[in-house]
Amino acid sequence: MAKKSVQLSGVVVAESAICSIDPDQGVLMYRGYDIAELAEHSTYEETALLLLDGELPDSAALAAFESELAERELPSETAEAIDRSALDSAPMDMVRTAVSTLSFGDPGRGETDQQAGRRTATRLIAQLPTIVARYHRRRQGLEPVAPDTSLSYAENFLAMLHGESPDERTARAFDVAMILHAEHELNASTFTARVVAGTGADLTGAVVAAIAALAGPLHGGANEAAMAMFERFGSAERAPEAVRGMLERKEKLSGFGHPLYRAYDPRAVILKRISEDFSQDGGEPNWYAITEAAERTVFEEKGLHPNVDLYSGSVYRYLGIPTDLFTPLFAASRVAGWSAHVLEQHGDDRIIRPSSEYVGPPRRPFPIRERASPARTTLFGAGHRES
């Protein structure tokens, strides 16, 4: 029988009150709120708080959270780690390592109670963008831009990255992209975070493991791979033939298909609209047109819809973000969802330990007479070993 490309698909391994998906209708909800409404009316800060606490905050609670999120400066050991290695590290390796160093001075390290986890989560949400921006500035030989607490989360990130504040439309498009990437039920990285949290490890450890899982091209790396594919296509005219060639060679096209959705990924609906809007500003190549031509061909040939990674590439590109920062940005956004899941798993206080089906050789005797044993000493004597 042919192996499925997704393991554990459809297997329920946790009860969760954070996120729900209707794969046939293409609906995604955070804590009962439709992602389309959150993208229209919320901000990343408010959505992160919704994910962490379970309810939309009133204005006082939101203001309090925003002031906690103002702790955007990195501790010196994290800043130094980035400065030392920015030139010879891959972006996701850098992010993973830098986040790991955040636990050095964290009073909540090693703790699994809700209050400590919540404090650490807020710190991670606040500081991950600073890590990404500092890394990018340093690797270009530029001075890092200090975080500006008078700016929103989205404005501040783009200002730290580019050295100038974005216009309102650009900041809002980025904010919406962050909302859309903030959470997605038990995807591979979130499951990883929950497995780590289930052992009683702390939130930072779980997030570091989640970042490692996100880096793979079948998960968070898919948006970078999709963008690289469109760069190879070069134009909307060439896209259909290139897509057909890939399908004939049985190559997987990044940004298409999904382990859950049978309908159009609701995040892709919104990102496609943003991409189209920015493409109207002109400029070549027309990333939106290339992506759209590929989308049409893949649907005609295979009936597959885009996933979140298809249009996020062109959106980030229109916002001036280099391709190899797409996955780090995914991490900066998803840390809200990971943290909510870790808090939930810590509250549940159970280890996750599934089983495997053994397909190796059956029990067999150790061939002690036919080979020299590498062990110099036997604890229980030769008689015991031969019995």
Ligand X SMILES: CC(C)(COP(=O)(O)OP(=O)(O)OC[C@H]1O[C@@H](n2cnc3c(N)ncnc32)[C@H](O)[C@@H]1OP(=O)(O)O)[C@@H](O)C(=O)NCCC(=O)NCCS
List, in sequence order, the alpha helices (H) in 234-325.
Answer: 239-248, 266-279, 287-302, 308-318
Question: Between residue 259 and residue 278, which ones bind ligand X under the rule CB under 6 A?
Answer: 259
Sign of CA dihedral 117, 123, 129, 131: negative
Out of 162, 172, 252, 296, the only residue in the binding site for ligand X (CB under 6 A) is 252
Gap between the Cα atoms of 39 and 182, Å rounded:
11
Site string for ligand X, 217-236 (x = CB under 6 A): -x---x--------------
Per the annotation, the verdict on 184 as an active-site residue is: no
Mark the segment that binds ligand X (CB under 6 A) among 40-48, 84-92, 162-170, 253-261.
253-261
Closest to ligand X by CB, 250 vs 369, is 250
- Yes or no: say if 156 and 148 are a contact pair by the CB < 8 Å rule: yes
**Residue 256 contacts ligand X per CB under 6 A:** yes
Out of 112, 307, 333, 339, the only residue in the binding site for ligand X (CB under 6 A) is 307
**Residue 302 contacts ligand X per CB under 6 A:** yes
**Residue 334 contacts ligand X per CB under 6 A:** no
Out of 147, 166, 205, 255, the only residue in the binding site for ligand X (CB under 6 A) is 255
Question: H/E element holding 21?
Answer: strand 19-22
Bridge partners (DSSP) of residue 311 are: none
* Residue 106 amino acid letter: D
**Residue 291 contacts ligand X per CB under 6 A:** no
**Residue 312 contacts ligand X per CB under 6 A:** no
List, in sequence order, the alpha helices (H) in 102-221.
Answer: 114-139, 153-162, 168-181, 188-198, 203-214
The residue written with tokens 């929103």 in the block is: 152
Mark the segment that binds ligand X (CB under 6 A) among 123-131, 201-209, 247-255, 347-355.
247-255
CB of 311 vs ligand X, minimal distance in Å? 12
Length of the chain: 387
Bridge partners (DSSP) of residue 27 are: 22
Per the annotation, the verdict on 162 as an active-site residue is: no
CB of 327 vs ligand X, minimal distance in Å? 11
Bridge partners (DSSP) of residue 20 are: 29
Gap between the Cα atoms of 267 and 289, Å rounded:
18
In the three-class reduction of DSSP (H, G, I as helix; E, B as strand; rest coil), residue 30 is classed as strand
CB of 48 vs ligand X, minimal distance in Å? 21
Mark the segment that binds ligand X (CB under 6 A) among 51-59, 111-119, 303-311, 336-344.
303-311
Chain positions contacting ligand X, by CB under 6 A = 5-6, 218, 222, 252-259, 302, 304, 307-309
